[in-house]
Amino acid sequence: MPAVVNYEAINTKVHSILGRRLKGDDYKKLLSLTSVNEIALYLSKNSDYGRYIASDNLNDIHRDELEKKLKMMLIYYIDKFDNYFSGEYRDFFMTFYSKYEIYDLKRLARLIHIEGELQSLREYLVFVDYYKNINVDNIIKAKSIVELIEFLNNSVYYPYLKNLLDGNKEENLFRFEMVLDKTYFLILFKKIKKLSGIDKKAFFEVFGPIIDMINLQWIYRGKKFYNMYPDELFNYTIDGGGKLNYKSIKELCYSKSVEELEDRIKLTPYSFLIKGDDMQDIYMERRMNRYIYYKLINTIRKNKRDISNVLVLMQIIEFEIRDIVSITEMVRYGIELSQSNNFLIKAV
């Protein structure tokens, strides 16, 4: 029998934390600043991120360092809510750590792909170095995606990644990212089986749209930019989505052209992703994330006594961190406030 969870206490904590999230006025203030250190100073004095951003010694802070400090809040909340769960529920909730560990692995892979210097990245890794599940000193030595996979041979991800060791250098980055995303959900789905029926339903209400967006993004990119075979593309998709079932996902993967794929997407509830203009590819991910964001806000307002609120909270914090990082880039490149909504998940 699943463990008993005190959702009244959890929901109280969730709403307390949400009440301290950045408001629209905070976004506007951040966008009015002129440097990373000004942004860091504002956050240190006016947000929960001050827990990891000391108000002194910020003159030389740069984007990567600030991003690491922001992401420490994700670990803080995982550890915080860990205290509210036990048994199989704690085991399930701790899979969030794997989700963010995968983010670090993707970042490493992208740097390898563009021949970045991994040694200098080590100090900015947040998740892979926290619980010591992965030997960071090894993986930062990787000179290729193949080597990175080989250095992960003792990790939970290796059984899923090893099939990529086929010498295909051109697509390995894209497939590496797809496999890791699917791996996370395969791990997650195993944990979900041990939750109560109410919480299983709550999980899919929250994550169904997220899975749909991931599938659509991979299918679109795989077909448009990598010319992947339909069967391979379909093999990397994730079951358990919201409005896209097995049949509709397969039909999307087997579209004969990008144009046919776009026409098929237009027949789904996600037709808003296909604008048919030159900016479609640039803004597609932002449209996906914004759609998810407002679905999450709607869920949290229902204040149900199930696992949904804490799942929503973690995703909202993640989105907020992404927005802050985007703001640092906008400030860096002098993008005007009037253009900010083109790049932010939360509309200002």
**Euclidean distance between CA atoms 213 and 245, whole angstroms:** 13
Cα–Cα distance for residue pair 83/81, rounded to 1 Å? 5
How many whole angstroms separate alpha carbon 96 and alpha carbon 101? 9
H helices, E strands: number in the chain: 16, 0
Q: Cα separation of 75 and 51, whole Å?
A: 12
User: From its phi and psi, is residue 110 left (phi > 0), alpha (psi between -120 and 50) or beta?
Assistant: alpha
Rg of the chain in Å (alpha carbons): 20
User: What are the domain boundaries of the chain?
Assistant: 197-301
Task: Say how far apart CA 320 and CA 317 lie, in whole Å.
Answer: 5
CA pair distance 311, 84, nearest whole angstrom: 13
Count the neighbouring beta carbons within 10 Å of the beta carbon of residue 14: 23
CATH architecture of the domain 197-301 equals: Up-down Bundle (1.20)
- Give the integer Cα–Cα distance in Å for 254 and 247: 11
In order of 108, 182, 218, 253, 258, the CA distances from 224 in angstroms are: 24, 20, 10, 11, 6
Per-residue pLDDT, 91: 93
Token pair belonging to 244:
């896209």
* pLDDT for the residue numbered 132: 74
Could you tell me the CA-to-CA distances from 97 to 29, 54, 75, 85, 140 in Å, in that order?
31, 25, 7, 15, 20
| 345 contacts 323 by C-beta, under 8 angstroms | yes
Tell me how far CA of residue 241 lies from CA of 189, 314, 339, in angstroms. Answer: 12, 19, 32
In angstroms, rounded to a whole number, what is the distance separating the alpha carbons of residues 335 and 194?
A: 48
- pLDDT score for 170: 57
Q: Is 285 helix (H, G, I), strand (E, B) or coil?
A: helix
Show pLDDT as tens, one digit a residue, over the chain (348 residues). 567 899 999 999 999 999 999 999 999 999 999 999 999 999 999 999 999 998 777 888 888 899 999 999 999 999 999 999 999 999 999 999 999 999 999 999 988 888 655 666 777 788 987 877 788 888 988 888 899 999 999 999 999 999 998 766 555 789 999 999 999 999 999 999 999 999 999 999 999 999 999 999 999 999 999 999 999 999 999 998 899 999 999 999 999 999 999 999 999 999 999 998 888 999 999 999 999 999 999 999 998 999 999 999 999 999 999 999 999 999 988 888 788 888 999 988
**What is the structure's pLDDT at 112?**
86
Cα–Cα distance measured from residue 40 to residue 88, given in angstroms and rounded to the nearest whole number: 38
Collapsed DSSP state (helix, strand, coil) of residue 295 = helix
Output the pLDDT for position 129: 77
